[in-house]
Structures are given as structure tokens and as C-alpha cells.
Structure 1
Amino acid sequence: MDAYLLLITLVSIVIVILGVSLFKWHAFISLTVAGLFLAIMSGLSLDKIVAAYETGVGGTLGHLVGILALGTILGKMLSESGAGLQIANFFIKVFGEKKLPWAMFLSGFVIGIPVFFEVGILILLPLVISIQKASKQNILLIALPGIAGLSIVHGLVPPHPGAIAAIGLYGANLGKVLLYSLIIAIPAGILGGPLFAKFINKRVVPVGEPELVRIDDQLDKKSLPSVGISFLSILMPVILMVLGTAAPYLSVPAGFEKFLVFIGSPIIALLISCFFAFYFLGFRQGIDKNTIKKFTEECILPVGSILLIIGAGGGFKQILIESGVAKVIASMSEGMSLSPLVLAFLIAGLIRIATGSATVALTTAAGIVAPIVAQMSGVNLELLVIATGAGSLMFSHVNDAGFWMVKEYLGLSIQETFKTWTVLETILSFTAFIGALILNMFV
């Protein structure tokens, strides 16, 4: 039965790939058909199939709809006003073209600490495309280091939800996890980011164009917003989210703390940032309200396609969980007597491959491994959190929302996304795991 479940899971993933590439179905259709195939073939009762699919779609899109819409609007304002171009010119002037991948990696790493991966992509994207237009380089050379910075932080570093959940389940020390994760994440991110981008950009040249954020490089230089306003517009959501994250640790009245947490939640931070952009990048630059409305409508339309894909990916993920695939993988791993760090890494990796969600993989694996390590002595719980986080990043493919976001936003084909994003995630995963094993020898 276990082998059968794994086989039909593999077949369902093949259905997604063939549906999109061979039959030219929309990814939403492919993911939905693959999810239904898996649900029926795994023996999930008919009355549970639709409920599982809807739960998965709702759970995935619940916090993403507003974030994606507002992030795209903010990106459009940064693009149309020329703010993205101003920042691009600033970076090119300060770092020079040869060091741009390093600048993008650091930007992604810093922005990624307080924000979710999806929000980080939306903040970085206008910058990536503006720099690409100004420098005329392969977009992968600029985009991949930024994405690597975001991803490694999302997988390993608190306060991201997966890391926080694992810390609670293992009973690890948050301060030590933060310290160790930063020591491990920086070299892993450098290898998966600037160094991998330098290697792959000579071998993969995307045929498509990024469709969701268009940059007008014919803008009159005199009418561009200042560099300061441009930076503040892109960093506004980050600043608000940092304030929200830091609020519980500040000595402020309880009411003010609640207010900071409220404005620091991703959707409120992005809403405030949009109004900031409407005024400083819109009205102050002579753009009238009708034009701003037109920009908003133009950029909202393509988001519908991405939301459908991400939602269907969530439905697929939930069916994978409901059909018992995650449990099968966990029980197989438990049967092998491995070191706790290796066990946590493998279980998280297998669940990540099956469900597509780094957070689900991290929290599920931690839930499985926690009772096992409770019976052992001498286990470094902080490095166990990091090893589990490293496992949760590997082999991103068609059931991962991040896969589709990177594909759609950078204008890549499925094959190009596998060659770039999937390889990048796997480099981050294994490098971070090796880093945890090395650090385990010394601490």
C-alpha cells in the first residue's frame, strides 16, 4: 500500500508536468486534474475529495490574496513612476555591474528576515526588472541572488513561522537558533545565490519576458522621484513589518504594542505602503487619480492567473496530506535508525517533495522527530531546527507556490524554472544541512 501511494503521487506529479508542457493546459487545470487523480486513486472517499481541495485552496490563498494584489499594485507604482529605475541607477553606480548579484543577494537576505517569501519577491521584483533593463544583463544573474537571499532566510531564520513552530516543538532556544541560522544561512545563500547565478546565467537564457511588472525606460529623468523617496517606497512595508515583529520586545504601552503589530502585519503594511506610493510616486509626480486607477486595474488582471495556480497548488497539497502520503514518508524514515539531524533533514525533505510547502514540511517533520529525540541525550536542539529547515527547502517543483511565482514573475518556461529555481533551492538545502553538521562538531 505504501509503495502504491508513492507511485500514484509520482504519476500525479507527472500529470502536472505533461499537462502544462505537452497538452498546453493552464497550470490551474493541470494541478486540479492531478489532485483529483491522486485523491481518487488513493481511495479518498468522494465526499472528502472536494472538501479537501477547497480546504487546501482556502488555506493557501487565505493570507495570499491581499498580499499578492497589494504587492503587485506597489510594484506597478514603483515601475510606472520610475522609482525602480532610480534605485537601479543608484545600485549600478555604487556597486558597478560586476557586483550587482552581491547587492541583490544582500537586499534579498535583509528584506527576507521580517517578510514572507512571497512578499519579498513582490518587493524585489520591480528592482530586479529595472536593473535588468538598465544593465541589459540576463535577468537570472540579478533575480536569482535576491531570491536565494529571501528563500534561505524563509527556511531557517526565526521569526518565520516554520522555524518558530520547530523551536516550540523541539524546545530549542530561540536566540541560539537565530545566531546559528545566520552563521549557516549566509554561506549557503552565497553559494545558491551569486555563485550559482554566475554559473547558470551562461547556460540558461530565458525566452519569455516578465509580464506582470512592466518598466518604462523612456521616462523623463527630470520627472523621476528622488532616490530617497524611491528607497523609502520600496522599504516602507519592510520597515512596518520589522516594527510589528519587534513590538513585543520594545518597552512600550500595551495599546501601542498592539497598534505596531497591527500595522506590521503584511497586508496592512502593504496597504499603507500603497497609499504612500499613490501620493509620493503618483500625485506628487503629476500622475492623476484616473491614471493611478488604470495602473491598478492593469496590474490586478494578471494576478488572477497566479492566484488560480497557487490555489490549485494548495488544493493538490491538501489532497497529498489527506491521502496519507506525508504519513507514509514519515513512517518509512522512522524505520531507518539515523542520526537525529539526518533523520529530521530527510523527513522534512520528503514531506517538502510530497506537499510542496516548506512551512508544512518543517512543522510536520518537527512534529514527527520531536518525540524521537525526546528519548535521546546530547542532541543539539538548535541545530536540529536548522537541519529540519534545510530539508524543507529541497527539490521545489510543481506543487510549490514558490515554483509558480518564480516561473510567472520572471517569464520562465517550466524547464527553465526546474534548471534555475529547483536547483537553487536544492543547493541552499544541502549547503545549509552540511553547515549544520559541521557546526555540530564544534558546539
Structure 2
Amino acid sequence: MDPYLLIITILSIVLVIVGVSVFKWHAFISLTVASLFLAIFAKMDFTQIVKSFETGVGGQLGHLIGILALGTMLGKLLAESGAGLKIANFFIKVFGEKKLPWAMFASGFIVGIPVFFEVGILILLPLIISIQQSTKKNILVIGLPAIAGLSIVHGLVPPHPGAVAAIGIYGADIGTVLLYSLIIAIPAGILGGPIFAKLITKVVKPKGEPDLLKAKSTLDDGITAPSTFTSFFIILLPVILMVIGTLKTQITSNETVQHILQFIGEPLIALLVAVFAATYLLGYMRGRDRKTVKLFLEDCLMPIGSIALIIGAGSGYKQILIDSGVGTMIGNMAQDMSLSPLILAFLIAGLIRVATGSATVALTTAAGIIAPIVATMPDVNLALLVIVTGAGSLMLSHVNDAGFWMVKEYLGLTLNETFKTWTLLETILSFTAFGMAMFLNSIL
């Protein structure tokens, strides 16, 4: 049964690619058809197929749809007010055009520490587009380093949920994991970010351009652009609130206050507060009337429908992969190999990532499989074990990963361009982090 499941999984992935690129189906249709194909041929109970798909869609969009909407609103206000261009011009002036990829990597890395990958993209996207419009550079030179910074932090560095879960499962020390993960994540991110972006842009020149949040760069007569300080304050406000929520126990010992700080640090609430602040500081304070601001916010939500459908269908596909037993099957196959626990954890996480499309699912599932194996092996470095598991969970992002579609749609890439850039970037991050972890393991 295992080879059969593997074959139909591969065929379902091919079906997604062929549907989008050859038949020109919308990605939502391709992913839905591939999900049904996999479920039927995996012999799932017919009464469970639709329920499983809907569970996947609802689970992801239930968490993400509000964040997508608010993040898009915030980005639109940053773009239309000229705040995005203010920040772009600041970076161009301070770093110069040649060092912009490094500045964007640092921005992605710092912003990514307290926020989820999807939230980080929405926070940084207006900045990426504004800088691209100011410099007219290939958007990949600016966008890929920022995305690399977000992704490597998401995969390796606590307090992200996957890393925290693996720390708990393995019984590792969070402080040691944090130290090692930063030592490994920075050089891995540099290789997968600024360096890779410089090389890949010689080969890939996107045919399209991002439609979402595009700034018109046309301020009406009498409309003044915000100050640089105000522009930075708005884009960093949700990050600041999320950091406060993360550090609640360090800020106060009062449980009631901790609960309040945790509440305002939730991505949905932090972005809602930021949208209200942007509406006032970038809208009304700049001379925009309520009707104009409302039109901005309504206009920017229209493109959300397509990407929400794609992300939802990708998550439905992921749930079918899980419920059909594909993830378990791949984990069992890898567990049968006689390898070092660190190598085994990396491989299992990577295979589950490829099968399910979720870095968090891959990390936590692989940790659950490996934990009993290392329980009787006292010489295993548990902190590095967490990191190699996280590294494995990043590799080979493809059509069953919501991040794949977010990058494709938000950067205006074709399917082929997304494979050549995002998929390769994720794989570089994965194997570089794994190699560095194995090196540290050999000298510690």
C-alpha cells in the first residue's frame, strides 16, 4: 500500500501543476480536483472526503482570513498615503541601492521573530512594492531577501509554534535552542536571501507584477505625505504589539495584565489596532475624507477573494494528505532507515513537509516520531535536534503549501517562476541550516 499511496500522491501534485499551467484552470479548481483525486484513489471513506477538505479549508482560513483582510487594508493605506514611499526613500538614502537586499533581509528577519510568516509578508509587502516602484529594480532582488528572513525565523527560531512544540516534545532547553538557532539562521538566511536573490535574478525576470496593494503614487492636491517617523510607526505598530504579547511574563507578573497583553499581541488584534491608527494618521490627518478612506479599504479587498480561495484549497489538499495517511506513511518509511537521529529527523520532517505542505505539521509530527527513538540515547544534542527538524520542515515548498501561493500571488509570479525562486529558496534555507547544525554537532 505504501508505494501505491506515494504514486497517487505524486500524480495528484502533477495534476495541480498541469491544471494550472496547461489547462489554465484557476489554482482553486486545480487544488480541489487534485484533493478529490487523491482522496478517492487513497480509498478514503466517501462520507469523509468533503468533510476532510472543508476541515482543512476552514482551519486555515479561520485563522488567516481576518489577518489577510486587515493586513491588506494596512498595506493599502501605507501605499495610498505615500508612507510606503517615505520608508522606501529612507532605506534607499541610508543603505544605497546596492545594499537594499541586505536591508530587506534584516527587515524580514527582525519582523519575522514575533509574527507568523503570513503576517510578516503582509507587513513587509507594501514596503517591498514601494521600494520596487522607486528603484525600478527586479522585485525579486527586494522581495526574496525579506521573505528569506521571514521564513528561516519561522522554521527555526522560538517562539514560533513549531519550534516551541518540538522543544517540548524533545525536552530541549529553549534558551540553548534560541542561541543555536540564531547562530544558524542568520548565515543560512543570508545565503538563501541576498546572495540567492542576486544570482536568480540573472535567470528569472518576472513577466507580471503584483496587483495587490499597488500604490498609485498620486496624492491629490492638498494631500500631504506623512512624516518618516509616522510611516515607520504604522508599519512597526503591529510588530511592537505582538512583541509585547510575547514578552508578557517579562513585563508583568499580574495575570490579568498578562492576559490583556496576550490579547493585544494576537496578530488579528494587533493588525486591527494598526489599521485604526493608519486610518487616522495616514488618512484623516493627511486630509482624506471618510468616503475616500472607505473606498480605499473596499477596493483593496477585491483581490483578496482569489488568494483566499487558493490558500483555502491548498489547506484542504493538505488535510486530505494527512487524513489519507500519506504523512504517516512517509514518516514510517523514513523511520525504518538506520541513520543518525539528527539526519533521520531532518529527512522525516522534509518528507512530511513535501507530503503535507505545512512546516508546523512536519516539525511537530517528525518530533513525535523521533522523540521515542532519542529517549534512550543520552548523547544526542537536543537543541540541535530541534533545529534540524525545523530545517527539514522548510524544504521543497510546492503547490500544497499556502506560503507558495502567497508568494506567487503577492509578488505577481507565474507558477514556473515561483518554483524557480520560492521553492529553491526554501530548499537552500533547509539544507544550509541542516549542514550548519551537523557541523556544530561535530565540534560540540
TM-score scaled by structure 1? 0.99
Tell me if the contact between 2:345 and 2:367 (Cα under 8 Å) persists in the aligned partners: yes
1:227-276 CA distances to partner (integer Å, 9 max, x unpaired)? 00000000000000000000022234222111111000000000000000
1:377 to partner: Cα distance = 2.1
Tell me if the contact between 1:82 and 1:216 (Cα under 8 Å) persists in the aligned partners: no
User: Could you tell me which residue of structure 2 aligns to residue 179 of structure 1?
Assistant: 179
Q: 1:120 to 1:434 in 2, by over 3 A?
A: same
User: Could you tell me which residue of structure 2 aligns to residue 142 of structure 1?
Assistant: 142
User: Could you tell me which residue of structure 2 aligns to residue 334 of structure 1?
Assistant: 335
Q: Distance in 2 between matches of 1:134 and 1:314?
A: 35
Q: Distance in 1 between matches of 2:99 and 2:440?
A: 29
1:220 to partner: Cα distance = 7.2
1:282-340 CA distances to partner (integer Å, 9 max, x unpaired)? 00001111111111111111111111111101110011011111111111111111000
Tell me if the contact between 2:356 and 2:362 (Cα under 8 Å) persists in the aligned partners: yes
Q: Give the 5 Å matches for 1:355-394.
A: 355-394=356-395
Tell me if the contact between 1:223 and 1:285 (Cα under 8 Å) persists in the aligned partners: yes
User: Could you tell me which residue of structure 2 aligns to residue 29 of structure 1?
Assistant: 29
Question: Percent of aligned positions with the same letter in both sequences?
Answer: 70
1:113 correspondence with 2:113: yes
Q: Distance in 2 between matches of 1:386 and 1:5?
A: 29
1:256 alignment partner AA: V
Q: Distance in 1 between matches of 2:76 and 2:50?
A: 36
Q: Distance in 1 between matches of 2:357 and 2:267?
A: 22
1:155-213 CA distances to partner (integer Å, 9 max, x unpaired)? 00001010011001000000100010000000000000000000011111101110111
1:161 correspondence with 2:130: no
Tell me if the contact between 1:101 and 1:141 (Cα under 8 Å) persists in the aligned partners: yes
User: Could you tell me which residue of structure 1 aligns to residue 123 of structure 2?
Assistant: 123
Q: Distance in 2 between matches of 1:317 and 1:110?
A: 29
Tell me if the contact between 2:19 and 2:25 (Cα under 8 Å) persists in the aligned partners: yes
Q: For 1:131, what is the secondary structure of its paired residue?
A: helix
Q: Give the 5 Å matches for 1:242-257.
A: 242-257=243-258
Q: 1:194 to 1:288 in 2, by over 3 A?
A: same
Q: Distance in 1 between matches of 2:299 and 2:363?
A: 37
Gaps of 5+ in 1: none
User: Could you tell me which residue of structure 2 aligns to residue 63 of structure 1?
Assistant: 63
Cα RMSD after superposing both structures: 1.0
1:412 correspondence with 2:418: no
User: Could you tell me which residue of structure 2 aligns to residue 201 of structure 1?
Assistant: 201
Tell me if the contact between 1:156 and 1:386 (Cα under 8 Å) persists in the aligned partners: yes
User: Could you tell me which residue of structure 2 aligns to residue 427 of structure 1?
Assistant: 428
User: Could you tell me which residue of structure 1 aligns to residue 83 of structure 2?
Assistant: 83
1:216 to partner: Cα distance = 2.1
User: Could you tell me which residue of structure 1 aligns to residue 39 of structure 2?
Assistant: 39
Q: For 2:440, what is the secondary structure of its paired residue?
A: helix
1:88 alignment partner AA: A
1:218 to partner: Cα distance = 3.7
Q: Tell me whether 59-68 or 212-221 shows the greater mean CA deviation.
A: 212-221
Q: For 2:333, what is the secondary structure of its paired residue?
A: helix
Q: Distance in 2 between matches of 1:58 and 1:101?
A: 36
1:33-89 CA distances to partner (integer Å, 9 max, x unpaired)? 000000000000100101111111111111101000000000000000000000000
Q: For 1:23, what is the secondary structure of its paired residue?
A: coil
1:184 alignment partner AA: I
Aligned residues: 443
User: Could you tell me which residue of structure 2 aligns to residue 215 of structure 1?
Assistant: 215
2:200 alignment partner AA: I
1:379-419 CA distances to partner (integer Å, 9 max, x unpaired)? 00000000000000000000000000000000000000000
1:308 correspondence with 2:312: no
1:106-144 CA distances to partner (integer Å, 9 max, x unpaired)? 000000000000000000000000000101110000000
Q: For 1:396, what is the secondary structure of its paired residue?
A: coil
Q: Distance in 2 between matches of 1:402 and 1:120?
A: 11
Q: Distance in 1 between matches of 2:62 and 2:252?
A: 32
Q: Distance in 1 between matches of 2:31 and 2:218?
A: 40
